[in-house]
Structure 1
C-alpha cells in the first residue's frame, strides 16, 4: 500500500487501518518517513518502543553479527577492544549517481554512463538536466574516495595503530581505491575479513542483509564516521545516541570544507591537521543533540525516547 510521506496519525486511522482490518496485514511502500515527526506523545512513545526496543534483525543475521562484533573487538587489542567504524559510500552506483569525476578517463566515463542507464534509465538525460561534476564536488556532493577518508582520519589524529572497520557495499574499482586506505590503516577490517566465505554465503546477493551486519558492527564501535548522507548513517546515529545515553561519538565531516582543503595545492600537513582536528571536535560535541519539532526522531531520539525511558 502506498502512503504519503510524513502523514499524521489520523491518516493511518482513516486510510490504513480499514485496509489492515480487511486484509489482516498491509505492506507500506515506500517505507521511510511515512509518519510525521510531530505526533502526540503517546504515539511518539510507541514509535520509540518499536524502533529502539522491539525491532530485531532475524536470528541468522543477529548471531553472525554478534560473532563479528566479538572478532572485531578481539582484533582491536592494541586499543583495548575499541575500534572506529566508517560508512564508506564509494560503490559503483553511488559514484555513478553522484555524477562526479574521479579518474576522468574514457573508461570511467563509459562505466559510469552505463551504470546510470542501467539503474536509472534516462533520468540523467532528461531535458534541462545539467551535470556539473565540478560544482557537485565544490558543494560537497561527491562521495569521498577511500584515500580522502584515510587522509581525513589521519589528520584527525587516528594513527596506523587504529583498528578500523569499513562498512560498505562493493567498492568501485576496489583494487585501486582501497589500497591507499589499507596502507594508512593496516588494521583495517571488513565483512569479508571478519567472517568466512561459508558464513557469508547465506547473505550473498542480499544487500540489505549484508548491510545489517555492517550496521551492527558500526553500532558497537567507539567512533562512527559517516561520509555520505543516507538512511544507514541517519538511523545509526540515532540508535547509537539512544544506547549510549546521548554520548556516542560520531564524526560527520563538512565535505564542502574538506574539498577546499584537499584541492589546495599549497596547504601544509600541519595546517590540514589543524582543520581536521577542529572538524572532529565540532562533530563530537554535537553527540548529545536535542530534537527540534520538525527534526527526525530516528536521528535525534532525545528527549522523546530518552528522558522518559522508565515510562516506555
Structure 2
C-alpha cells in the first residue's frame, strides 16, 4: 500500500481550525481572585487539567496561576509546567480571554503566610457543571481572594456553554505548545523521520505501543512468560498500585480481559495487523512508547516485519536525549510530536495520549484523525484462530482500516470530549469542496 492512499479524502467534509475567536482589543474585567489548581497524572492528563482550568478561570473571571504539577507514583516525573510547556507563549495566547500569572502576588502570599497549602482547597466532584462552580466556588473566590482545587483532573463537565468550550479549544490547540528544548529536538526528530521515509514521499506510520511493564501489569493480561512473568507483574502492580489488586473479592481473569479487547497489543500483533492492512516492509514506522517489557524479545518480530522501525532512542542521539532521561512527561512530549506529524497514527490501548493526539490531528488535518483504531475484540478472535488463511485475515484488516477511515472525521457527541472530537466546537466547515490536506511541518505543540 502507498501511504498516500491510506485515507480516502473524498468521503470527508473538510473543516478548518477556528479556535481563536477572541477579540484581541477587548479588556478583561476586574478579576474575582486567583485560581490555583494541581494537575496530576502523566503528560496528557496534565494537559486536560490545564485546559479545563483555563475554562473554569474564564467562567469565574478568575486569574489563573500557572498550574502546579503533582508528582505521580506511576509517572515519577518531577518536571514543572515550564519544563514541559512554553509558559510565556501560553500566557500571551490567552491574554485576551483569561489572565494568567506565573505566581501569586506578594500581598496574597502574605495573607496566607507564604504557604500555598494554607489556601482553602475546595473539593470539587468529577465532571462538575458550570452552575456548581458559579454557586459554590465563585463566592469563596470573591470572599478569600484565592482558592485552590486539588486534584483537578476531570473536574469540569464535557457539556458546557459554547463560550467555555471555546476556551478549552483555545487552550489546547493554540495556547499550549511545548517548551523550547522539547520543540527543538522534536522538530529534528520529525525531520529525520521524513528524511528516512523518502521512499514513501516523506510519509510515515506512528504507533503508540502500550507494552511497558506498568501497562502490562495494570491490564492483568497474560502473555507467554509463564511463572516468571506472573511474578514480575505481581511486583510491578504492588510497586505502582500498592494493594489495589490484592483487595478481597478482586478476581483477575486474563482470558476474559483478552476476549473483551482489554489487553495491550503485543509488538508482533501490531506488526501482523499493519501487514494485513497492506503496509509492506518498506514502510517507515515510528514506535512511541516507554520502556517496553522485555523489549529484546517482544520487539524483534515487529522490527523483522518493518526494518525501517525507529524509536526516540534510535532517532535521537544519547547526547540529545540526556536532558530528558528520567522525565517521562518530557519524553512523552517528543513521542507526541513525532506521532502528530505522521501520515498514519495507530492507537493500540486507549488512554489520554491517543485521545489527545486524535483530536490534535483532526484539528491539523481538516477534521480527519488519520488514525487506525483497531477493534481489539475482533483482533483477539482472529489471532486465536491458528488456521485462519492469510487472505481472510487481510480482508478483515482492510475492513478495519476502512472503518477507521470513516470514523476519522466524527463530530463530538454530547458526552464526548472536544479534546478528541474538536468538531464542531473548535472547527468550522470549509466552504470549498476539495480536501487535499498534506501534513504540515509547522510544530504547533
The TM-score, its normalising length taken from structure 2, stands at 0.67
- Equivalent residue of 1:202, what SS? helix
Alignment of 1:52-201 (within 5 A): 52-201=173-322
Give 1:10 deviation, angstroms: 3.1
Contact 2:359 2:369 in 1 (8 A): no
Encode CA deviations 1:97-129: one digit per residue, 9 max, x unaligned. 111111141111110111111111111111111
- Equivalent residue of 1:288, what SS? coil
Give 1:18 deviation, angstroms: 6.1
Equivalent position of 2:165 in the other structure: 44
Alignment of 1:202-213 (within 5 A): 202-213=323-334
Give 1:249 deviation, angstroms: 1.1
Distance 1:231 1:23 in 2: 33
Encode CA deviations 1:206-248: one digit per residue, 9 max, x unaligned. 1111101100111001011000010000111011001111123
* Bigger shift: residues 20-29 or 234-243: 20-29
Contact 2:207 2:346 in 1 (8 A): yes
Equivalent position of 2:57 in the other structure: none
- Distance 1:56-1:11 versus aligned 2 partners, 3 A rule: farther
- How many residue pairs match? The answer is 308
Q: Larger Rg: 1 or 2?
A: 2
- Distance 1:11-1:202 versus aligned 2 partners, 3 A rule: farther
Mind listing any 5+ residue stretches in structure 1 that lack a counterpart?
none
- Distance 1:9-1:228 versus aligned 2 partners, 3 A rule: same
Which of residues 381, 399, 404 is equivalent to 1:278?
A: 399
- Equivalent residue of 2:207, what SS? strand
- Equivalent residue of 2:428, what SS? coil
- Equivalent residue of 2:307, what SS? coil
Equivalent position of 2:390 in the other structure: 269
Which of residues 310, 315, 335 is equivalent to 1:214?
A: 335
Give 1:35 deviation, angstroms: 1.5
Encode CA deviations 1:54-101: one digit per residue, 9 max, x unaligned. 111111111111111111111111111000000000000000111111
Give 1:279 deviation, angstroms: 0.4
* Bigger shift: residues 11-20 or 39-48: 11-20
Answering whether residue 132 of structure 2 is matched by residue 29 of structure 1, we say no
Distance 1:200 1:147 in 2: 27
Contact 2:412 2:422 in 1 (8 A): yes
Alignment of 1:10-25 (within 5 A): 10-16=131-137, 22=144
Equivalent position of 2:3 in the other structure: none
Distance 1:224 1:191 in 2: 16
State the Cα RMSD in Å.
Answer: 1.7
Answering whether residue 368 of structure 2 is matched by residue 247 of structure 1, we say yes
Distance 2:189 2:135 in 1: 44
Distance 2:173 2:409 in 1: 17
* Bigger shift: residues 218-227 or 100-109: 100-109
Contact 2:124 2:149 in 1 (8 A): no
Equivalent position of 2:344 in the other structure: 223
Give 1:20 deviation, angstroms: 6.2
- Distance 1:19-1:184 versus aligned 2 partners, 3 A rule: farther
Distance 1:142 1:75 in 2: 32
Mind listing any 5+ residue stretches in structure 2 that lack a counterpart?
1-120, 431-445
Distance 2:175 2:376 in 1: 35
Distance 1:254 1:286 in 2: 12
Distance 2:155 2:166 in 1: 17
Equivalent position of 2:87 in the other structure: none
Equivalent position of 1:294 in the other structure: 415
Encode CA deviations 1:246-273: one digit per residue, 9 max, x unaligned. 1231100000100100000110111100
